[in-house]
Each structure stands twice: as structure tokens, then as C-alpha cells.
Chain A
Amino acid sequence: MARTLLLLLAGALTLQGLLPLLPEALAGDGLARLVLTQSSLPRLAMALLAGFLLSMAGEVCQRIFANPLAEPGLLGISGGASLALAAGLLLAPALWQAAPGLLALTGAAGALILVLAVAWGRGLHSQALVLAGVMVNLCAAAAHALLVLFNHDFLQELLTWQAGSLAQAGWQSGLGLLAQTAPVAGALWLLHRPLQLLMLGEETAQGLGLSVRRSKLLLLAAAAWLTASVVATVGLIGFVGLAGPALARGLGGRSGGGSRPNLPRAGLWGAVVLLLADQTARLLSGLAGDVPVGAASGVFIGPLLVLLSLRSRSPDLPARHDPPAPARPRRPMRALLPLALAVPVLLAIALLIGRSETGLHLTTAGDLAAVLHWRLPPLMLAAGAGACLALSGLLLQRLLRNPLTSPDLLGVGHGAGLAFALAMVFLPESGLVSRFALTTAGAGAMLALVSLLAARARFAPSRLLLIGVGLGSTAQALLTLVLAAGGPKGAALLSWFSGSTGGASLPQALLAWSVAVAVLAAALLLRRWFDLLALDEVVAAGRGLAVTPARAAGLALAALAAAAGTIALGPISFVGLIVPHLVATMGFRATAPAALASVGTGALVMVFAQWLGGLLAWPWPISPGLLAALLGGPFFLWQLRKHAA
């Protein structure tokens, strides 16, 4: 039903675009014919082709990882491609001029190779692959943001290009893309059977004589090739890789299509989705200038995923249990002591060593007052926000039992960012009173919406994930649109989005810290609930736990911490995503020590990043959010590699 509607809508919009041109073109009007054959038709073809390819790549990834949220972007492929293109444009324009496609493919290949290298052990274990992919993505995004911020002269070009417009002037780029991808798409179709075997679980597939590692490698390389080719041709178009396969499986939760991979079917639905999105973007263009479909498609697909989570009885792919990670020795509580001491020590170092015109500068008794006055608030704010986000991430990962969950999922960051961005672009400058008030309002509104939807889904983890990603994609898309129209203000927005501390004051830092302490206290009190929920809800219910209220309480705590962290620092996801993993590798497993260790580690990471970010490019700040991702990312990858081997 919903699918028929989508089809009809896409068809109607396409006709609406073509009809005014057709009679004139057929009557022999040269200009109308030119527009029809060189602009309208190539654009339709490009939408269909790009949608088909992205969705097919998405289906491959979702099947390999048995995760409905997996798409090639998840493996760092689009992040790597777009980073390589941006870096090429700025650092090696001659190379960029000659072969942008080659650059994009190199970037995508680099990212994929890195991810594969990290997850090489144990037959390319899915969880390690996805974790490595998310990490590489975060690093690439941080590096990209840094490039854009330090070259904001090119900001507009980089951002608008990245927003993915399908406007065409001729057939060359479409034909080029087709030639580049057709052989690979064909090969993927031939690899249909290994994909089907892989879905039975890695051990079963191995038992049936399939080389799991080689098959995964081939499949992923093919998906990467398709994605990178599209990115190099038209820019970043996210979410089609999610929505196409989801539509192909059926919105109504019919299980029939769910069990077997069907690449052409997924591809076709992806083509329909992108066509619909692009035709809508074309309609909107008449009002405000070209609307990049990469952004517009996100606006669409958000509600689609939310719908999917509410309507469907089982939106997930068939469940499959991956073997648990090898247990590491438990660490006793007193191992927390060095961590607790490290925070004040690092703070003292950061206050002692700064930079001035002449190089590094040791704080003297004379300038101590000034240093405390200016340097302490951002340091304290970064630490407090780090503690909040780490704690929020830990609680979420426990409650939803998904290692890829980060506080972004609650929509807090997107809501805050959206309110801020809209105010920056649409309010007159005099109306911009307080960033704090704006972000608080945005975070609150989005949190209310998420809670409402989550309550309807009875706080079930898989549905919460879909809701979070859906709302996030919509907010992200609106943001891209706002940024592309924002001019120089775009840089200010981008800086906030990467977690800047320029507006820090001591009261704000104290606010973040008091929320961190309050949430920590509550988590310690309720530790038994969270320990049980992290295991299994059947077990938890069997031990007399009221699962839904407990989960709601946990989510409320996580949301509070995420809101405090985001409002203080910006919607950075690195700390919330990674610190819980780091804490686990340190050996803190039960909720109580893990929560304490998360607060300490989150604060420590952010203090270090804030300090170093103030030194590196002085007087230009590197926001602690970006630096934490750039430095912490490789460290985390190395950790992951050690455990995967």
C-alpha cells in the first residue's frame, strides 16, 4: 500500500516535470528539445542509476552484517571518498582536476582497507568490522571538518558539492558512472549465492564449504566500488542505501521478502526512492534555488524509518548471534584510583603549559590569574561534557545492547543543532541572544518527540534504533540544507557542530558537571537494573525486574546526560560511542565500576583534547570534539586490532 503510493507519487512528479517540455520538444522547438534531452532526461536517468547502485550496495552490507542499519557509509567508504576529494581539492588541485573519480576511489579503498585490516582476525567478524567502520567514518568526518574549517574560503564549494545534487548537463557523467559500475554490479549479482550462505551464520556457511573471509572481502569491495563511484559522480547521498532495501523487504512487516537477499529488487526500490526524492527537490528548486537531493532524500527517509519502526512487527533482519568477544580479566574497583587522579593532574598541566607568539609558554605567578580566568572554563566545560556524554553512551549501549549506540541516537544533538542552525540562518542577527537557550529549546523539543515515539514502541531496542536513526537523518538533512544556504555563518555552525568551547563560562561548566554527578549517582543506585538489562530481558524479567519502566528510567538518565553534554559542547558523538568500549577493554564490566570509569575517561579524553587543540594551531583553536576523534580514533582502531587478532 505504502509502496504503491510511493511509486505513484514518483511517477506523477516525473510526469509533472516532463509534460511542459514534451509538446514543444516534439513540435521541433530546438531549445525545448535541448533542455529535455540534455537536462531533464539525464537527470532522471542519473537518479535511477545512482539510487539503484546505492541501494544494491546497501542490501549487500545489510545482509553481511545482519543489521538493517548497515550501509556502505557505515564502513567508512563514503567518508573516505569524500575526505579524499576534499583533501585533493585543497592540497593537490591538479590531481583533482585530472581524475576526481580516481581520488574518490582511492579514498574509499583506503578507508575500506583500514577497516578490513583492523577486523582481519577471526574471519572478518561482523561486529569488529562495523565498529572499525564507524570509527574510520568518525575520523574521516573529523578530518574533513578540520579541512573545511581551516579553508573556509572553499567552504561553500565543499559543502554544496557534498550535499549531492543530481542536476545534469548532458549524458557524460551518467554514462561514465554506468560504464564504471556495470561490470561490478553484474559480478555482485553472480555473488548472490555466497551472500545467501553468509546469511545462515558464519559457522554454517563455513560448514557448507564457503570461504567466509574471501566472500565477505569480495562482496564488500564490490559494494565499496559502487558507492565510491556514485560519491565521485554526484556527491554524498545517504540513506538511500537504508531505505531501498527496507522497502524491498516490505514496510508492513511481511516476512516473505525478509529471508533471502534480492539485489535487483532492493536496487529497483532504491531507484524509486531516489527518483521521488530528486523530483521533490526539483520542485522545491523553483522556490529557493537548487536543492541538493542528497539532503532532500534524508528529509524523506527519516519519517520512513520511523514509520517502519512503528508499523512493523519485526523490522529486524533474522536474528543471528555473534560469538561474544573474549572476556578480559575483571579489574577491581581500586583500579579506578589512578584514573580519578589523572584528571586533576592533566588539568594542572593544561593550565601550566600554554602557547604565545614566541612558542610554548610556561605559566608564571604573574599571569596565573589571567590563565585561570581564560583557560579554566573551557577545560572544565570540555571535561564535564565529556563525562556526561560518556555516561550517556554507556547507559545507552547497555540498555539497547548495541555497541554502536551513541547519544546522538536520542536526537538531542540533532535537535539542538537544528534549532541553532535555523536561528543562525533565519533570525536577524540582533535576535540571536543566547546559544544556550536555543540549543536547550531544540534539544528539549527533539527529546519530547523521541520519547513520544519510543513510548509507542514500548522502548524496544531495535525500534528505538530505527527511530533514532530516522529522526537523526531528517535533522541532518535539514542541517545540510541550512548550511548550504548559510554563507559565512556556515563556518560558525560547523565549528559548533564539531564541539567548540569558545562560549564556555564557569557556570556552564559547573552545570555540566552537576548533571554528570547526578546521573552517575542515579546509575550507581540503579546498577542492578542496568546489569540485568544488559544481559537479556527474559533473564531480567525472570529475576523480577519490570523491564519497560527500568528501561524508560535508564533512557531518561541517558537523555539527561546527553542533553547536558550536547548543550555544553555540541553534538559530538565520539566520546559517547568510544569511551564505553575503552572502559570495557580496561576490564570494567559491571555497571558501577564501568560508570565511574566512563566519567573519568570521558573527562580525561576531553581535557587532553581541549589542551592540545589550544596549542597545535594557535591562535586558531582545534575543537576538542574533532581532536578527540582524530587522536582517539586511531588508538581505538589499534585496540580493536589487538583484540581481533
Chain B
Amino acid sequence: MISRRPLLAGLLALTLPVPARAAAGPRLAVIDWAAAETLIALDRPPLAISDSGYFASRMPFDLPPGVVDIGPFWEISLEYLARLAPDRIIAPASALMMTPRIAEIAPVDIVPTETRGSRLDLAADLARQMAAVAGLAPESAARLVEGTEAALAAAGRRAGHSSVLVCVPDLSGRLFTLYGRGSLPDAVLARMGLANAWTGPVTALGTYRASLEELIGMEEATILLVEIASMRPRTERMLRTSALWHAVPAVASGRAHWIGNFYPQGGLLSARHLAGTVAAALTQG
């Protein structure tokens, strides 16, 4: 049923160090995409991450070669991870609840995933933590943080000054997920010198689901609609035929634009990418 030779070869390959650039620093298994993104930004790509397929499709950059998939974040493959034998595991606290036995495989570094303050501060903290875990000097994290802030400020200068609403329209074109306080877009807009048009209540994730009529009251805002590729044509069609949509001030005066997808729970790279996207959308119109 199974030929032994490829099997042995596979097992042998496992005992060899992972190729590419992982020669330096500890071998890390990461069950959190913001942490994985930060490690990649610090040029210390992890040995393994949870759900690499999602990561590759959602992040604005390519996953370095050689990073293996250890399963979804809610239930990584313990047997496989144990065989990979990482030096450390980086995970949110919930991973310790879903798969408590990861602690038997390697020491677990808990990363924060929620904040009451700015998500950019959380991302900067994450960068410092990841630099320490990867055995890098604190300066490398500081460089990444400063680089990101400079990029955000530059994007802000290009974008000018206005009030912006970042939202995801739903399939029916009737409901919108708005990003408010505590979300990554909110923090990025603030650092770019732009005002977030949504200052109302939010959920723990910093989002709020609004119906179309709630957008009508926003006189000044430029609306940026986040595009989910396979859904956009239908959403557009629904919006085109909606009298309410055309009554939204931003739509009536041509201040509604589509922007590309981004990872709302991401770190500094995601923030930089989002700032660039927002600036491009605001200058194009």
C-alpha cells in the first residue's frame, strides 16, 4: 500500500533543516497571521504557520517558500507539529484552549489579539515581541515601526484631509460592515491624518453592521467599499438599482470608490498596505 522508500526519504527530509533562509534564529511555528506577517516583515520567516493557503490568498505579499501548513488555527495537527519539533510556538490564548497540548511540544509565546486602544500600537507591540522571540536586536523592531509610521504619514500627505468611511457591503447591497473604534482601518486613518466617518458603537472587533439608511446622514464622508472579488458584480448591480444608495451624499457627488481587500486583524505590513490602498483611492477620484 505504501512504498517505504519515499516514506523514508520524507522522514529524512524532516530531520534536515528547513531550506531557504531559516538558517538563522529559532525555528518558530506560528498560529496567528498577524504574528506570522510580522516575522516575515522582520525577515525571519517561520517554519510553519496555520492555514498557509488563507495567508497566501489574503495577504498583500507572497508567503516565503518552505513555510509549511500545520492546519487551521482552531485545530492544528498536533501529531505533525510534534514531528516538525519547532523551538517555540507563537499563538493567541484561544489556541491554548482549542488545542491545549501544543504546550507539550514547545514553549508557547502568547500574542495579544485584542486591544482597547489603537490597533497600530498593538501591531507595534507585536513587532517588538516577535523581534525578541526571533532573537533579533530591538532595533530591528524599532526600524519596522518607524518605517511603517513614515509610510503611513507619506500616504496621509498624498491623501489630503477628509472624512473617510471604510466599509464592506454585504451580498444584498442592503447592509454594510463599518470599521470603527478599535479596528485597524480606524487606527490607520487616524495616523494618516484622516477622520473616520463612523464614530458610533462597535463590536469587540471594532465593526458595526449598518443598514443603508444610516449612510445617508454622512454628508462629508468619502466612502471606500472593500471589494470581495466574487461578490462585487452582484453587489454593484444591487446598489445601482437602489434609490436609497443614490441618495447617499458620497454617491451623489461621486465620492464612493472600491478598494482592494485587506486583512483587518493584521499587523504593520497590513497597515502599510491599507494606507497605500486608501491613499490611492482618495487621489484617483
Contact = CB atoms under 8 A, between A and B. Distances in A.
B233 A289 contact: no
A433 B230 CA distance: 39
Interface stretch (B5-13, B36-44, B122-130, B140-148): B5-13
Contacts of A487: 204-205, 207, 265
8 contacts: A31-B216, A34-B244, A93-B231, A172-B241, A358-B6, A492-B94, A496-B74, A502-B98
A500 B75 contact: yes
A153 interface: yes
Contact of B73 (A161, A173, A428, A492): A492
Nearest to B171: A161
Given A157-B170, A491-B72, 10 more contacts: A35-B213, A157-B231, A165-B174, A356-B7, A356-B10, A356-B83, A358-B9, A359-B2, A487-B265, A619-B70
Given A358-B10, A492-B94, A503 B99 contact: yes
B114 A429 contact: yes
Contacts of B72: 149, 152, 491, 495, 620-621
Interface stretch (A112-120, A218-226, A367-375, A400-408): A367-375
Interface of B: 1-2, 6-7, 9-11, 13-14, 54, 57-58, 68-80, 82-83, 92-94, 96-101, 112-114, 170-175, 177, 201, 203-205, 207-213, 216, 228, 230-231, 233-234, 238, 241-245, 247, 265
A288 B100 contact: no
A24 to B, nearest CB: 13
B7 to A, nearest CB: 6
Contacts of A39: 211-213, 244
Interface in A108-150: 149
Given A357-B10, A434-B97, A290 B231 contact: no
Closest 7 pairs (CB-CB, A-B): A502-B75, A358-B10, A93-B230, A619-B77, A289-B209, A492-B74, A429-B93
Interface in A579-619: 618-619
A290 B94 contact: no
A89 interface: yes
A505 interface: yes
B220 to A, nearest CB: 16
A289 B73 contact: no
Given A165-B174, A168-B174, A370 B79 contact: yes
A451 interface: no
Contact of A492 (B98, B242, B247): B98
Interface residues of A, number: 69
A169 B94 contact: no
A611 to B, nearest CB: 13
Nearest to A490: B74
A160 B241 CA distance: 23
Contacts of B245: 169
A433 B96 CA distance: 8
A444 interface: no
A434 B97 CA distance: 6
Given A356-B10, A432-B93, A502 B74 contact: yes
Contacts of A149: 72
B225 to A, nearest CB: 14
Nearest to A504: B101
A134 to B, nearest CB: 27
Given A39-B244, A432-B94, A503-B100, A362 B79 contact: no
A167 interface: yes
B97 A435 contact: yes
A488 B216 CA distance: 30
Given A97-B233, A153-B58, A289-B201, A370 B1 contact: no
Interface string A17-46: 000000000000001001100110000000
Contacts of B6: 358-359
A371 B79 contact: yes
A485 B204 contact: yes
